[in-house]
Amino acid sequence: MLPQTPEQLMRSRYVAYALGGHGNYLLKTWFPPMAKMLSEAQLSEKTQDWLGLEVIETGTNGFEGWVEFKATFKQAGQRQVMHERSVFTFVAGKWFYIGGDIK
């Protein structure tokens, strides 16, 4: 089943990163013009241990959507938080991740 909202897509992408090894899914859900320099192998690498996700705000306006979230992870033994506002677009019946603004 395809994600029906930007939030569902963002959550599924978080799980793909958390599990590692799902670069193919990440590429398929990335807006193609924005993913030209990325590879499945690169996206499949698990470089952090993801510990949790907090969705702060989500919304849509026509064919555009956004999700602001905080994701907690551990890298090199240190706990860190990534705060991002991700943007999405709806094309041909599917939501795609465009990119994010890290806060």
Task: List, for residues 68-83, the tens digit of each pLDDT value.
Answer: 999 999 988 999 999 9
Amino acid (one-letter) located at 64: E
pLDDT of amino acid 1: 77
Q: pLDDT at residue 9 above 80? A: yes
pLDDT at 75: 87
The class that CATH gives domain 6-102 is alpha beta
